[in-house]
Structure 1
Amino acid sequence: MADCCVRAWVTGKVQGVLFRRSTQHQALAQNLTGYAKNLPDGRVKVLLCGSREGVKLVSEWLWKGPEGAQVTHVEFDVLDQCHAPDHFATY
């Protein structure tokens, strides 16, 4: 069971720059589960579940993203009730 789950919406130049795959790499390095999904409006929606420290580290990384990304805003929602997935997926 995850200690913590956070949903984030990342705004800026975040599609077409390997943002989802890089987020997956960062999450797996922290043993987190969840997903990164492109949205039709150009944002990326991210779910991070796992240890509080791991979620914190990847949440901070979302403000930077991979090389080529230009993040302008990240909105977070801490989830009290969340069914944590058993892996990290990209959509």
Structure 2
Amino acid sequence: MPEARLEVWVSGRVQGVGFRWWTRGVARKNALVGFAENLSDGRVWIVAEGARSGIDALWEALNSGDTAGEVSSIEREDPEPTGEFQQFGVK
């Protein structure tokens, strides 16, 4: 079972700019599983599970200002991990 889970909703210019693929790269680099998905309201929903250090690295990257696109705000939740994912995908 993964040690931690992160769910975030990212607002800004984050669709059609490679943001989900950038997120996938950061997640895989940190051995995280889950997904990044475009939402109909223009946000991107990210769910990631793995080691706490990997979750922290993803969170720092999302807030670094060095993402694909332009992030204006991020909503965060830290629910219990479920162990439902095998890899990190883009939806």
TM-score between the two structures when normalised by the length of structure 2: 0.91
**How many Å separate the matches in 1 of 2:61 and 2:81?**
24
Q: How many residues align?
A: 89
Q: Alignment partner of 1:79: what SS?
A: coil
SS class of match (1:57): helix
Between the aligned partners of 1:71 and 1:17, the Cα distance in structure 2 is 11
Is it true that 1:22 corresponds to 2:22 in the alignment?
Answer: yes
Query: What is the aligned-residue identity percentage?
Result: 33
Cross-structure match for 1:39: 39
Quick check: 2:3–2:81 contact (8 Å CA) kept in 1? no
Q: Give 1:82 deviation, angstroms.
A: 2.5
Q: Distance in 2 between matches of 1:72 and 1:82?
A: 29
What is the identity, as a one-letter code, of the residue corresponding to 1:74? I
User: Equivalent residue of 2:55, what SS?
Assistant: helix
| Deviations 1:6-30, CA, capped at 9 Å, x for gaps | 1000000000110000100000000
What RMSD in Å do the two structures reach over aligned CA positions?
1.1
Q: Name stretches of at least 5 consecutive residues in structure 1 with no aligned partner.
A: none
- Assess if the C-alpha contact under 8 Å between 1:5 and 1:84 holds in 2: no
User: Residues of 2 paired with 1:44 and 1:8: CA distance?
Assistant: 8
Q: Distance in 2 between matches of 1:80 and 1:19?
A: 25
Question: What is aligned with 2:78?
Answer: 78
